């Protein structure tokens, strides 16, 4: 595992820790944003481990699906988790009409943990 991949995993772990603290402090919208970033960094790490260098959020999402979910290297549910987390993050960060509530953010924390665990498992087997 390269140093860059390790750093991305560390950022993913940190973002998830911050999300849990934000949830504990009753900030579910902010937590939802951090959960997405945890998944984003983890997906970037997996892509970079295969020499795929993308930065834009839509490009990470697309490449993750194309190189890992579509050929069955990872269960497609993880691709769906990433897509859904991005949509929720966009609502949390930009939509002034809709608020992310605790049950949604709590579910996303569990998905974020599962996502990160699966990425780390895959990285350990490469």
pLDDT in tens, 78-94: 999 999 999 999 988 88
Q: Identify the pLDDT of residue 97.
A: 79
Q: Please state the CATH superfamily assignment of the domain spanning residues 3-125 in this structure.
A: Nucleotidyltransferases  domain 2 (1.20.120.330)
pLDDT of 68 strictly over 80 = yes
pLDDT for the residue 126: 62
Could you state, in order of their start, the residue ranges of all structural domains in the chain?
A: 3-125
Q: Quick one: 114 exposed, middle or buried, by C-beta within 10 A (0-12, 13-18, 19+)? A: middle
Q: What tokens does 110 get?
A: 């569990």
31 confidence band (pLDDT: 50, 70, 90)? very high
Q: Across the chain, what does the average pLDDT equal?
A: 93
Judged by phi (left if over 0) then psi (alpha if -120 to 50, else beta), residue 119 lies in alpha
Mean pLDDT score, 42-60? 97
Between 43 and 93, the more confident residue is 43
- The pLDDT, as a whole number, for residue 96 is 80
Block residue for tokens 């490449």: 63
């Amino acid at each position: 595992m390269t140093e860059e991949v390790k750093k991305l995993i560390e950022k993913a772990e940190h973002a998830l820790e911050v999300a849990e603290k934000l949830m504990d402090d009753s900030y579910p919208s902010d937590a939802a944003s951090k959960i997405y970033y945890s998944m984003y960094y983890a997906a970037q790490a997996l892509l970079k481990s295969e020499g795929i260098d993308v930065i834009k959020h839509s490009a990470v999402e697309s490449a993750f699906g194309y190189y890992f979910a579509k050929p069955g290297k990872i269960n497609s549910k993880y691709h769906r988790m990433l897509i859904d987390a991005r949509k929720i993050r966009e609502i949390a960060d930009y939509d002034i009409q809709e608020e992310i509530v605790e049950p949604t953010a709590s579910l996303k924390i569990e998905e974020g943990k599962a996502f990160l665990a699966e990425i780390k498992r895959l990285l350990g087997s490469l």
